[in-house]
Each structure stands twice: as structure tokens, then as C-alpha cells.
Amino acid sequence: MTEPTTYVEPGEQLPDETGKAYAAFRAYLEAGPGRSVVKVAAECNKSASLLHRWSSRHRWQARVEAWDAAMRRTYDEELREARRESARRHLRVAREALRKVEERLNGLDAADLSPSDLTRLWDVAAKIERDVLGEPHRVTISGPEGGPIPVTDVATLDDEARRDRLAALRREIDTRLEEARAAAEPLSPPTTTGAAHTHREDTWPCR
């Protein structure tokens, strides 16, 4: 009856591999993509023919290919986790910044703001809301039945008239944003799975 084959990790020593042969294999393994038996033979002060025999007997090429593939998988997973962590960190910073802005805004009295201040504040808030909802930044607004909208030269208005005009524009934009939200599909937050893997490589000098 044939004995079951024991699985050995690509970088580990095989049961029938001597210490010297394994040291040479580790030197070959850790030489990287440009590795060659001839170079390792020179570094280990051994004949190339001997290392070629070890390479064939102990399947060096198959083992280094499996090793390289495992390293690529580890690197890819670590890169994905780094990106996820970066996104989480940016989200935390953004939320904290928004919280501080909200605290500041709650302490503002609209009566103390000039019409130009209110206009800029509204523009920034509307842009952020459109970004969150995935709405276009440019919206074409028309009058009744697609007709033109009467344009008022605000430069000719006094402060009270400008505030009234701004309030009317706010109501109009709020109405259109509510219509857009009602027509939009609900957003689903992305989910993330997986954890980073770490790997420690030891240097194996030829002996």
C-alpha cells in the first residue's frame, strides 16, 4: 500500500532533502524573479552540476512557482486591506470635519449673514448633497411647461428683497431635490470582507 504524500509548504524543507540541499534551495528561492542555478552555485561555492541535480530531484522550479504565487496572493490581499483602511480613515476624518462644521453652523445666526454669505453657504451645501446622492452638478431648470425663467437683476434689489429672492430659490431647489431623491433608488453601503496576511521571511545562507 502506497504511503500518503505529506504536504509541505513551498518554502519548507522536504522530508528527503538534506540540510545542504535545502540551504541551496532557500538561496535559490530568495534570489527572486532573476534567480538561476548557476548564480546560486557561485554564491554557495558549489558546482552547478550538483545544484542542477538537487534542483531536479527536489522540484525547485515547481516549489518556487508555488512560492511566488503565494507571495502575490499575500501582497494583493495586503494591498486590498490597505485600501480599505485608507477609505475607512478618510471617512472618519470627513465625518469629524463635518461634525465640527455642523457645530459651527448651529451657532450661526442667519440674520448675521450677508446675502452673499448665504448664497455661498447654500452652493457648498447643495454641491455636497448632490455628491452624496450621485446627482449631476449641472441641472437645467426651466419655467412652466419648459419655458424660460424670468431673470431678476439682483444688483438692483435691496438686502430684504435679495433675501426674499434667495428664499424663493431655496424652496424651488428643495422641491427639485426632493423629486430627484424620490425617483432615485436607495443606496446600498459597500461591504468588505477579508483580513490582511503577514509573512516573515528568514535569510537562509548557504552552508
DSSP string, the chain: -PPPPPP--TTSPPTT--HHHHHHHHHHHTT-TT--HHHHHHHHT--HHHHHHHHHHTTHHHHHHHHHHHHHHHHHHHHHHHHHHHHHHHHHHHHHHHHHHHHHHHT--GGGS-HHHHHHHHHHHHHHHHHHHT--S------GGG-PPP---GGGS-HHHHHHHHHHHHHHHHHHHHHHHHHSPPP--------------------
Mean pLDDT, the chain, whole residue set? 76
Contacts of 36 (CB under 8 A, 6+ apart): none
CA atoms within 13 A on the CB side of 150: 2
What pLDDT score does 197 carry?
A: 43
Q: What is the mean pLDDT of residues 167-176?
A: 78
Q: Distance (Å, rounded) from C-alpha 154 to C-alpha 159? A: 9
- 199 band by pLDDT with thresholds 50, 70 and 90: very low
Is residue 168 in a domain? yes
Q: What is the mean pLDDT of residues 150-170?
A: 72
**pTM, full prediction:** 0.43
CA angle at residue 190 from 134 to 91, to 5 degrees?
A: 75
pLDDT over threshold 80, residue 182: no
Q: Which of 22, 20, 17, 10 is nearest to 64 (CA)?
A: 10
Inter-axis angle of helices 60-106 and 19-29, nearest 10 = 50
Is residue 136 in a domain? yes
What pLDDT score does 4 carry?
A: 47
What pLDDT score does 64 carry?
A: 92
Task: Mark whether 60 and 123 lie in a shared domain.
Answer: no
Is residue 30 in a domain? yes
What pLDDT score does 78 carry?
A: 92
First and final C-alpha spacing in the chain: 37
pLDDT over threshold 80, residue 158: no
Is residue 4 in a domain? no
Give me the residue label for grid cell 433675501: 163
Q: Higher model confidence: residue 5 or residue 22? A: 22
Is residue 192 in a domain? no
89-138 pLDDT, tens per residue?
888 887 787 777 777 777 777 777 787 877 887 787 778 777 777 776 66
What pLDDT score does 79 carry?
A: 92
Is residue 89 in a domain? no
Contacts of 21 (CB under 8 A, 6+ apart): 54, 57, 58
- 10 band by pLDDT with thresholds 50, 70 and 90: confident
What pLDDT score does 53 carry?
A: 93
Is residue 56 in a domain? yes
Is residue 90 in a domain? no
- 22 band by pLDDT with thresholds 50, 70 and 90: very high
Q: What's the total number of domains in the chain?
A: 2
Burial class (CB in 10 A: 0-12, 13-18, 19+), 144: exposed
Task: Mark whether 169 and 115 lie in a shared domain.
Answer: yes
pLDDT over threshold 80, residue 183: no
Task: Mark whether 122 and 173 lie in a shared domain.
Answer: yes
For 38, the domain range is 19-71
Q: Distance (Å, rounded) from C-alpha 117 to C-alpha 46? A: 80
